[in-house]
Structure 1
Amino acid sequence: MVNFFSKLLPLVLLAFAAGCTDGGKPEIEANKAVSTTKPVKLTVAHVLADTHSEHVGLVGLADELKEKTNGSVTLSIISGGALGSENEQVNQVQTGALDMSLIQAISLFQGLDSRLAVEEVPFLFDSREAAYKAVDGPFGDKVSEILGEKGLHVIAYWENGYRHFTNNKRAIVNPEDMEGIKFRSAASEIRLQMFNELGASAIPMAFTELFTALQQGTVDGQENPLSIISSSKFNEVQKHLSLSGHIWNASVLIINPKVWNKLDSEQQEVLQELAFKYRDSVRLQIADDDSKIIEELKAKGMQVNEVDTAAFQEAVKNVRQLYIDKNGDELLTLID
């Protein structure tokens, strides 16, 4: 037995020496060639066209996310409502069937909590800067808290923008001009009440069905930010654009909480920082593009006009009280 081990020991020492580098450290540790981080593949969906500023922002975010995490986190983007309406995508993120989504309004979450219809109150924000201050401050924190209780983690508030009316009937200058026009509306009691106060008809409909409905005359008009009117090519099926700016919408970047927690702290930090970076660039892009889009839509044949804002504010003043009667004024107070 002693003779056996005396022959084996030199072989063991030789094998150990072969696996070491200077200083006696194993070669694999010295080169640090193996990463123990498990790759995470994320998918984010939205209903917008590939040409929209927010899609472009998501592409930039995805590219940098892969770079800054050394490929440990990748993000695939599914656009154009390929995974269904925004309400369907919210449900998919809740259940974990979808990792992330960019939802085009806080008010689209009102099915989870009716208080979140607050964005539907017309003429709520005097300026973009006021809107940013609200969603990036205590108001946004409260919305994030509410959505957190519903199984959704908010990463950042991007921008959808100011909504304007388009239709095929007539130029809208005064509230009376809305009479008898059939508008597509989100399925929101507050939004429907706004149309009712203005004397228009409103038909609840998913955004993914809108272009065909306008094309076929199911509805006469719709209301959306200029960036969506342009990127969705509504100018091909709409004649009049009336610059009302009656509602400002955030866009909400959400993620399933279990998916968020699957990321390590460094990965979370990178995703959070990039979400803020591209939030700011998208906001800038949408604001800068508005005047350019108006000229482009004019060149494509749309007739563009301003509205009597004071008259519209007076006509819809009861909508705010309708919201308060149902939901209280906590969120409005935070905004104010």
Structure 2
Amino acid sequence: MTLNCFLKTTALAALTAAGGMANAQDVTLRIQTHYATEHPSGKLAAQFADDIETMSGGEIAIEIFFSSSVVASTETFDAAINGILDCDMTSGAYQTGKNPAFQFVGDIMGGYDTPWQQLSWLYYGGGYDAAQELYNAQGMQLIGWWLYGQESLSSAKPIAGFEDLKGWKFRSPPGMETEIFQELGASPIVMDFTEIFTALETGIIDGADASGLYNNVGLGLYDIVKHATYPGFHSMPSDHLACNKDVWDGLSEKHRRIIDTAMQKLTLHTALSNEKKNAEAAAELTAAGVTLYDWSAEDRAEFRKAAQTTWDRWATKTPEAAALVKSHKAYLGQLGLLASD
């Protein structure tokens, strides 16, 4: 090798090394989710992390803690506030104890019919700014949502319309849902998610609000009960990605854009994949003798009316709750989904 050739090769190696140093990982984000690695949503979260690492050229590393392995699911938000984690990938609905307004970013019951409508409120209906005030007051930054669509009610008896709710004993999560269903004559029983199967099996409850149709199949609910609502109408929970605001503000604009883009991809594929899986589950359940009920427009309107009456009570709890209810109502009115008196 000539001296000239050697110098060129050495210079190229030095430039390559310098470029490698410039692209070296300089951000690590610790994120906790309540989903397990093998759960469909857990797999999508893993893809989300890979997308960020790939798009950033390795400048951002994402460390995801699955199955709430660091702290309990409901404590994830505080863990991010206090620096134990950087971001929370669970649900805003877990934080209603901090402020009832979190109900209206976690599960806007009786509101939107589709995930696309709910997401359009966030991105195009003023929702992002309204919600951001709530998060920022806690020292957190809302990055985005990932939601899988309407949940299905499962029942041991027919549940064809709101009249069938009278006296219906079912598992309910805590919070606003119990008030709505009580107003319609049902008997919601708050119990942990893990207790549903045994409670159905022993007849303690007649049914359950657990998850979407596909997920309910995975839980084995339809081995016990043979009735379900589909497509659902009552609940469409949105999981969030929320990060410690100081951590988020400390990222470069480039890194924030990458994370936001990856989040929007996660949002799209969460809704799309669950729509496909729910449709497949519906066909399989129908063939297996499970009866699925698509509530009429009139019965849906009755439920929406009861839900939005409950919203108004919750709106009196804090100014932030009032602001979010006002925002949702304005946008639902534009979509023609606001309950009429």
Same fold (TM over 0.5): yes
Q: Which residue of 1 aligns with 2:169?
A: 182
Aligned mates of 1:82, 1:40 — CA distance in 2:
22
Q: Which residue of 2 aligns with 1:280?
A: 268
Contact 2:93 2:102 in 1 (8 A): yes
Q: Alpha carbon RMSD of aligned pairs, Å? A: 3.3
**After superposition, what is the alpha-carbon deviation per residue over 1:254-279, rounded to whole angstroms, capped at 9, x for unaligned?**
22223334544333222221111222
* 1:311 matched to 2:299: yes
Residue 79 of structure 1 pairs with residue 79 of structure 2: no
The equivalent position to 2:128 in structure 1, one of 137, 140, 156, is: 140
Partner of 1:97: 84
SS at match of 1:249: coil
- Structure-2 separation of matches of 1:122 and 1:44: 27
Asked whether the equivalents of residues 25 and 58 of structure 2 are also in contact (C-alpha less than 8 Å), the reply is no
Structure 1 equivalent of residue 57 of structure 2? 70
Q: 1:86 to 1:232 in 2, by over 3 A?
A: farther
Moved more, 195-204 or 236-245: 236-245
Shift of the 39–159 alpha-carbon distance from structure 1 to 2, 3 Å rule, reads same
Does residue 229 (structure 1) correspond to residue 225 (structure 2)? The answer is: no
The gaps in structure 2 that reach 5 residues or longer are 1-5, 316-321, 333-341
Give the alignment partner of residue 159 of structure 2, picking from 155, 159, 172. 172
Range with greater deviation from structure 2 (32-41 or 318-327): 32-41
Structure 2 residue corresponding to 1:202, chosen from 173, 188, 191: 188
Give, as a single letter, the amino acid of the residue that structure 1 aligns with 2:193: F
CA distance in 2, matches of 1:316, 1:27: 66
Distance 2:16 2:69 in 1: 48
Q: What whole-Å deviation, never above 9, does each CA across 1:1-31 have from its counterpart, x for those lacking one?
A: xxxxxxxxxxxxxxxxxxx946997974574
CA pair 298-74 structure 1, distance change in 2 beyond 3 A: farther
Conserved 8 A contact 2:115-2:147: no
- For residue 244 of structure 2, the aligned residue among 256, 263, 270 is 256
Bigger Cα displacement from structure 2, 29-38 vs 73-82 = 29-38
Taking structure 1 as the reference length, what is the TM-score of the superposition? Answer: 0.78
| Larger strand fraction of residues | 1
**In 2, Cα distance between the equivalents of 1:83 and 1:234?**
29
Query: 1 CA distance for matches of 2:108 and 2:248?
Result: 32
Contact 1:85 / 1:206 at 8 angstroms: preserved in 2?
Answer: no
Does 2:111 correspond to 1:115?
Answer: no
User: Identity of aligned pairs, percent?
Assistant: 20
| Structure of larger gyration radius | 1
SS at 1:171's partner residue? Answer: coil
Q: Deviation of residue 146 (structure 1)?
A: 1.1
Which SS does the other structure have where 1:248 is aligned? coil
* 2:339 aligned partner: none
- Contact persistence 1:182–1:219 (CA under 8 A): yes
Q: Distance in 1 between matches of 2:108 and 2:55?
A: 40
8 Å contact from structure 2 (residues 172, 178) kept in 1: yes
Distance (whole Å) between structure 2 residues aligned to residue 225 and residue 211 of structure 1: 15
Summarize the Cα distance change of 1:129–1:72 in structure 2 as closer, same or farther, 3 Å threshold.
closer
Give the counterpart of 1:124 among 102, 107, 111: 111
The one-letter code matched in structure 1 to 2:95 is F
Distance 1:230 1:21, change over 3 A: farther
Contact 1:197 1:316 in 2 (8 A): no
Figure out how many residues of one structure are paired with residues of the other and give that number. Answer: 315
* 1:324 shift after superposition: 1.7
d(CA) in 1 for partners of 2:198, 2:85: 27
